[in-house]
Amino acid sequence: MGKLSLPYGRSRQELTAGACEVLDSHIQDLPKCADETAVVRAAMEAPIGSPRLRELAAGKKTAVLIISDHTRPVPSRHIVPLMLQELREGNPDIRVTLLVATGCHRGTLREELEHKLGGDILERERIVVHDCDASPMTDMGVLPSGARLIINSLVAESDLVVAEGFIEPHFFAGFSGGRKSILPGVCSRTTVLGNHCAAFIDSPRATMGTLEGNPINRDMEAAARMGRLAYIVNVVIDAEKRVVAAFAGDALKAHHTGCAFLRRYCVVRPERPGDIVVTSNGGAPLDQNVYQAVKGLTTAASAAAPGAALIICAACADGIGGEAFYQALRGCDSASSLLKDIRAVPMERTVPDQWQYQILARIIEDHPVIFATRPELRTAIGEMKMTYAPSLEEALCLARGLKGENARLTVIPDGVSVIVEPA
């Protein structure tokens, strides 16, 4: 009997498992760097497909630096100061605005910005938090899907648009980072909803680790071009949220290079699908609510046999993470009936959080889901057609009750860090 440890909030949950297959990324195989800032600086000194940032800043009056919000573990303290330094080396008089890419999330709080950026930048720089409903917006035209690109006017009117970010597998956009700073990061709710429509979410190419042929990524990359995202600095981080690699330069070329690099360390190929699959959502801040934990469950489902039991542990410090998300699962007769209703919704009538409960309903339709989290969420978890458990150990007991003591067990310690592909 071996002990496994999975991230849970800012701590861990232990699991006693017998014979099992563990699917883990190989990010830990990368050499640890003593100086994370040096890794970022080296990438910025050799940008991919682009001049250096200081050259891009020359002659520009204004620049917008898009930064990540509170839901992303981007190590901004190692990125943003270097980007600001280069912008001002190229043009000491350039007026820089830091724009927080919240997408449709709640606004990032001042204390969250201080934790992300440090007090010095918070006090010195002009920082604006994007609001997908209330920020001034500019219509930039039509995306390949036919949806309109309506973007924060600070971006539309700036002479230079750059962004920070990090790259990880994403459960329907393929990978995070890069073009996502624009869409959904700083777009109107209308544009985000169109990009996350039912037909796109249902696409077999809208999966973890897939960019080519992914309709969601296609519109995102078009949005980056139309929004004139000129330069990015994106990093890859390890399980301790430390920088292990960095990619700077052209928004699409640098991002694709980073994705190809990460894929080598993230792809796992199980020997056989599991009858019980256990995972986490990577710990805080990625497991801050049930909404975000759908990502880890998507990974678990991709490693599961038909009808397999799925287990996820997530601390969910912020609770459910969306009233519409909660009410959709709570109010439906079944996951199948909810999916039927969602698939009848045209792009222009997509509603907030539809994509998240579409994916969760699709998982629940195929698998019993056991959710190990705080006891305060017991009732809500049950109402959302899942089974509550107070711990991973209890969840595994419940799953073995469903699938049998000899059920094949697969454990994915960090469900947001791996891409599961057939052997």
**Residues taking part in catalysis:** 105, 170
34: Cβ–Cβ under 8 A, 6 or more apart, which residues?
none
Rounded Cα distance between 58 and 176, Å, is 29
Radius of gyration of the chain measured on its C-alpha atoms: 21
Q: Which two tokens stand for residue 68?
A: 């990540």
Give kind and range of the element (H or E) at residue 16: strand 11-17
| Token digits of residue 199 | 């037909």
Query: Cα–Cα distance between 1 and 193 in angstroms, integer?
Result: 47
- Of 304, 264, 269, give the one whose Cα is nearest residue 29: 264
Residues 41, 199: Cα–Cα separation, whole Å: 41
Helices (H), 267-377: 290-302, 323-331, 335-343, 354-366
In 3D space, the residue among 16, 21, 96, 29 whose CA is nearest the CA of residue 57 turns out to be 96
Helix axes 354-366, 323-331, angle to 10 degrees: 40
Tokens encoding 303: 């490693």
CA-closest candidate to residue 73, choices 192, 164, 152, 3: 164
| Spatial separation of the C-alpha atoms in residues 363 and 365, rounded to whole Å | 5
d(C-alpha 418, C-alpha 220), whole Å: 22
CA angle 388, 391, 397 (to 5 degrees): 80
In single-letter form, the type of residue at position 413 comes to P
Distances (CA, A) of 74 to 44, 135, 283, 347, 418: 17, 23, 14, 31, 18
Which amino acid, 200? F
